[in-house]
């Protein structure tokens, strides 16, 4: 559920148990401070998607707007603010990671059927979402000779797609052309399509044109200045939003997807480094890192972000424009994914 406002929002949240006396269901309420809402916007919104029954909103006192969600079977939730436009996002998660993302009261279809057994055990990677970073009005990083990150990421995703399809995977793309897509919409797309893996493709940039190398990220709290700078670059959000992000990130350690994401990241990084090293000399291996990438938050499947090379480095920029370099990047990422899947299968079947 997304609440829009025409200013920055501060909020507190609270949960109430089911009230057997009044018959009220369990509720989650959010108080938005220093806010007013016109009466005409206060009609209750019926949701009934299996997670939430309905949403009600009212002016609680002179300076507080209270949003109440009547809960059906919510298991977990996250609330955070975002800017441009200013909004409050409530992510509601049900049993077994069942995911509902309803925007402006329009419920998105969610499936109540349980996950197949193979998927519950992390097997049977079948559907992969490829996310070509940036696009449209957001060019991403731009190289010293004008090569745009958004064009490289799309070219790489379009190359990787048929390679994965040849291996029998179903591939969906968050964008297949020069389109602008908000970061949260990218993982929401993967969740709604029940993807098994989410792969976000980027090129890196540094203030120093000398910096080169390849690295792969999964979600977490950045442990180095470089990692946090890279996340800042990709997130394109303000410091305030970033501190909200940190709060969510600290909460994420219980997500089992993080372990799988780290294994996937290791496998892809390994293949990328070895693939590039064998065809192109002297590629620094920057390894697997964690940072607070907005685009990975909320993914209900293993999710990684690949920084394929530094577009800010003139020689890497030249390479990124070359067909053979792009081919090597795509085939190496493919190899990393395939290795990850076979690793999973052998881990669960007990084979060596």
What does the per-residue mask of binding to Zn ion show for 118-157, with x meaning CB under 5 A? ---------------x------x-----------------
Q: Which is nearer to Zn ion, 100 or 132 (CB)?
A: 132
Tell me whether residue 91 or residue 307 sits nearer to Zn ion (CB atom).
Answer: 307
Alpha helices in the chain (DSSP H): 117-120, 149-166, 183-192, 225-235, 239-250, 257-279, 314-320, 323-349
Distance CA 257, CA 334 (A): 20
Q: What is the DSSP letter of 105?
A: T
* Residue of closest CB approach to Zn ion: 202
For Zn ion, which is the closer residue by CB, 148 or 202?
Answer: 202
Q: How many residues bind Zn ion (CB under 5 A)?
A: 4
**For residues 281 and 91, what is the distance between their CA atoms, to the nearest angstrom?**
45
Q: Which is nearer to Zn ion, 94 or 135 (CB)?
A: 135
Is the CB of residue 200 less than 8 Å from the CB of residue 305?
yes
Mark 116-149 as b/e (b = at least 16 C-beta within 10 Å): eeebeebbbbbbbbbbbbbbeebebbbbeeebbb
For residue 210, the minimal CB distance to Zn ion (Å) is 20
Query: Least distance in Å: CB of 140 to Zn ion?
Result: 4
Site for Zn ion contains 184 (CB under 5 A): no
Of the pair 32, 231, the CB lying nearest Zn ion is at 231
Contacts of 192 (CB under 8 A, 6+ apart): 99, 101, 108, 109
The answer for 134, left when phi > 0, alpha when psi is -120 to 50, beta otherwise, is left
Binding residue (CB under 5 A) for Zn ion from 77, 202, 212, 289: 202
Residues 208-247 that bind Zn ion (CB under 5 A): 234
Work out how close the CB of 18 gets to Zn ion at its nearest, in angstroms, rounded to a whole number. 45
Q: Which is nearer to Zn ion, 98 or 153 (CB)?
A: 153
In the complex, what is the shortest distance from the CB of residue 191 to Zn ion, in angstroms, rounded to a whole number?
Answer: 21
Least Å distance between CB 203 and Zn ion?
6
CB of 41 to Zn ion, least distance (A): 37
Helix, strand, or coil here: 238? coil
DSSP 31-79: EEES----GGG-S-EE--SSSEEEEEEEEEETTEEEEEEEESS--EEEE
What is the smallest separation between the CB atom of 188 and Zn ion, expressed in angstroms? 19
Residues in touch with Zn ion (CB under 5 A): 133, 140, 202, 234
């Amino acid at each position: 559920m997304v609440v829009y406002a025409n200013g920055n929002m501060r909020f507190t949240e609270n949960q109430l148990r089911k009230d057997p006396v009044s018959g009220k269901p369990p509720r989650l309420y959010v108080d938005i401070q220093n806010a007013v809402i016109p009466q005409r916007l206060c009609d209750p919104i019926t949701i009934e998607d299996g997670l939430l029954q309905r949403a009600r909103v009212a002016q609680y006192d002179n300076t507080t707007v209270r949003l109440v969600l009547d809960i059906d079977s919510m298991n977990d939730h996250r609330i955070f603010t975002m800017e441009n436009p200013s909004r409050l996002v409530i992510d509601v998660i049900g049993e077994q990671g069942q995911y509902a993302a309803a925007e402006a009261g329009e419920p998105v279809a969610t499936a109540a059927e349980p996950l197949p057994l193979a998927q519950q055990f992390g097997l049977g990677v079948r559907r992969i979402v490829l996310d070509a970073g940036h696009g449209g009005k957001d060019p991403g990083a731009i190289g010293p000779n004008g090569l745009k990150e958004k064009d490289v990421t799309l070219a790489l995703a379009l190359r990787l797609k048929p390679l994965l399809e040849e291996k029998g995977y179903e591939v969906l793309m968050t964008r297949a052309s020069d389109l602008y897509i908000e970061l949260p919409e990218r993982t929401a797309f993967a969740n709604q399509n029940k993807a098994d893996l989410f792969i976000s493709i980027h090129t890196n940039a540094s203030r120093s044109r000398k910096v080169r190398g390849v690295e792969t990220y999964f979600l977490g709290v950045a442990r180095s200045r470089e990692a946090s700078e890279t996340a800042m670059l990709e997130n394109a959000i303000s410091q305030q939003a970033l501190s909200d992000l940190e709060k969510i990130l600290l909460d994420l350690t219980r997500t089992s997807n993080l372990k799988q994401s780290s294994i996937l990241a290791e496998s892809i990084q390994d293949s990328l480094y070895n693939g590039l090293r064998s065809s192109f000399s002297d590629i620094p291996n920057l390894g697997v890192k964690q940072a607070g990438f907005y685009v990975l938050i909320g993914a209900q499947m293993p999710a990684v972000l690949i920084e394929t090379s530094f577009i800010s480095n003139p020689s890497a920029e030249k390479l990124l424009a070359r067909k053979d370099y792009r081919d090597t990047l795509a085939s190496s990422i493919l190899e990393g994914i395939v290795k990850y899947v076979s690793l999973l299968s052998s881990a669960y079947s007990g084979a060596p």
